[in-house]
């Protein structure tokens, strides 16, 4: 891709120039591969090259510089094989999903890609739907979840859904209902462990103080948020507040011995409750470590 070091002219700046040259050359090569379609996309639409080359650097910047995120318990993410990551959802705009994904990739042993399950609203919107697919997400539905898990992927799900992301600021860090526990059935049927994950910090990025329901209905959105800065400051209101983030991965909950009980609603509800309580406890633990939401 780049010229070997000895072929470059000798000067005091060689070392530095070389790195610059390399960056330009690899950037151009990336551009050429993209323009000629010479990359792979999996059956869900996941474009690994684009994700690692373009999305990850932006997410990383946001995570490290803006949110100053600290990550705990990444050792609980298995280096390979299927696993279901279950997290709390918050923050009006689902940045927590992206931050969880980059945390998984950068901190896990196998540099795992988190395959997120998204609401159908995401896949209805032009543009957003394709960004979601290219970054590895797919629709939150049983066939897709089971296909990914059976294929040995690390799958991320937020069972609270819009009830979690779109909840008012006063309800922050209170876990909402976990739906029908479909995520538990998927894990049970494929026999993969469930890894609880707690995210603290996302609640403060866009504090939701109001919801203009008629406007949401017109736009076909699940809610229309009003925050201290949006829509008052226009596009500036889209800048997330720089809260301090903590992400913790909990101990995996094994499911192998429950595989034949995936259809038993009692087993499913109990396990869903167990996961929910674990995540809630982890959130409380993290909040104690972070008394000031905007600490350094």
Partner 1 sequence: MATRPEVVLVTGVSRFLGARVAANLATRTGVGRVIGLDPFPPHPEVEPLLADSSVEVVQADLRAAGEVIADLGVEAVVHLAVISSPDQARGGRAAMKEQNVIGTMQLLAACQQADTLRRLVVRSSTAAYGASFRDPAVFTEDTEPREVPRGGYARDILDIESYVRGFRRRRPDVTATVLRFAPFIGATAETALLRYLARPTVPTVLGRDPRMQFVHVDDALEVLERSVLESHPGTFNVAGPGIITLSQAIRRAGRIAVPIVEQALAASAATGRGLISNDQIDLFVHGRVVDTTRLVSEFGFTPRSTPDAFADFVRSHQSGALVTPDRLAAAERSFLDMIHRVREEVR
Largest CA distance in the chain: 73
Strand pairing partners for 248? 72, 198
Q: Does 143 bind partner 1 (CB under 8 A)?
A: yes
Respond yes or no on whether the N-terminal peptide bond of residue 206 is cis (omega within 30° of 0). Answer: no
Smallest separation (angstroms) from partner 1 to the CB of 173: 31
Among 69, 138, 185, 243, binds partner 1 (CB under 8 A): 138
**Cα(108)–Cα(201) distance, integer angstroms:** 21
Tokens describing residue 201: 């910090």
Residue closer to partner 1 (CB basis): 66 or 162: 162
Binding partner 1 (rule: CB under 8 A), the pick from 10, 35, 266, 296 is: 35
Residue from 5, 15, 17, 260 touching partner 1 (CB under 8 A): that is 17
125 binds partner 1 (CB under 8 A): yes
29 makes contact with partner 1 (CB under 8 A): yes
Q: Which helix (H) or strand (E) holds 101?
A: helix 95-107
Whole-number Å distance between alpha carbons of 87 and 260: 25
Distance of alpha carbon 32 from alpha carbon 224, whole angstroms: 40
Q: Contact with partner 1 (CB under 8 A): which of 130, 260, 264, 277?
A: 130
Token digits of residue 186: 């998927």
Q: How far is the CB of 36 from partner 1 (least distance, A)?
A: 5
**Total of residues contacting partner 1 (CB under 8 A):** 38
Q: CA–CA separation, 41 vs 114, rounded Å?
A: 16
- Residues within window 40-99 making contact with partner 1, judged by CB under 8 A: 41-45, 47
Q: Which is nearer to partner 1, 113 or 172 (CB)?
A: 113
Shortest Cβ 141–partner 1 spacing (Å) = 5
**Secondary structure string (H, E, C) spanning 188-210:** HHHCCCEEEEEEECHHHCCCCCE
Nearer to partner 1, 3 or 239 (CB): 3
Cα distances from 47 to residues 92, 109, 137, 146, in angstroms, run 26, 21, 10, 20
Q: What residues line the site for partner 1 (CB under 8 A)?
A: 9, 11, 17, 21, 24-25, 28-29, 31-32, 34-39, 41-45, 47, 120, 123-127, 129-130, 133-134, 138-139, 141, 143-144, 147
């Amino acid at each position: 891709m780049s010229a070997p070091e000895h072929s470059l002219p000798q000067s005091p700046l060689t070392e530095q120039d070389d790195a610059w040259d390399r960056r330009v050359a690899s950037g151009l090569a990336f551009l050429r591969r993209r323009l000629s379609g010479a990359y792979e996309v999996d059956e869900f639409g996941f474009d690994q090259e684009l994700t690692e080359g373009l999305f990850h650097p932006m997410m990383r910047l946001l995570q490290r510089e803006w949110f100053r995120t600290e990550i705990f318990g990444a050792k609980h993410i298995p280096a390979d094989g299927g696993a279901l990551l279950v997290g709390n959802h918050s923050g009006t705009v689902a940045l927590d999903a992206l931050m969880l994904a980059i945390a998984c990739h950068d901190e896990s042993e196998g540099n795992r890609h988190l395959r997120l399950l998204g609401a159908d609203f995401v896949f209805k919107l032009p543009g957003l739907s394709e960004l979601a697919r290219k970054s590895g997400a797919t629709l939150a539905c049983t066939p897709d979840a089971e296909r990914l898990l059976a294929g040995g992927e690390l799958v991320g799900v937020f069972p609270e859904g819009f009830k979690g992301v779109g909840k008012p600021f006063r309800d922050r860090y209170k876990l909402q209902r976990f739906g029908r526990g479909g995520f538990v059935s998927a894990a049970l049927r494929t026999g993969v462990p469930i890894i609880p994950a707690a995210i603290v910090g996302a609640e403060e990025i866009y504090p939701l103080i109001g919801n203009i329901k008629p406007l949401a209905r017109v736009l076909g959105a699940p809610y229309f948020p009003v925050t201290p800065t949006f829509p008052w400051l226009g596009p500036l209101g889209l800048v997330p507040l720089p809260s301090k983030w903590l992400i913790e991965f909990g101990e995996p909950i094994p499911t192998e011995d429950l595989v034949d009980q995936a259809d038993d609603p009692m087993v499913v509800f109990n396990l869903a409750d167990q996961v929910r309580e674990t995540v809630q406890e982890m959130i409380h633990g993290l909040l104690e470590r972070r008394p000031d939401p905007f600490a350094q």
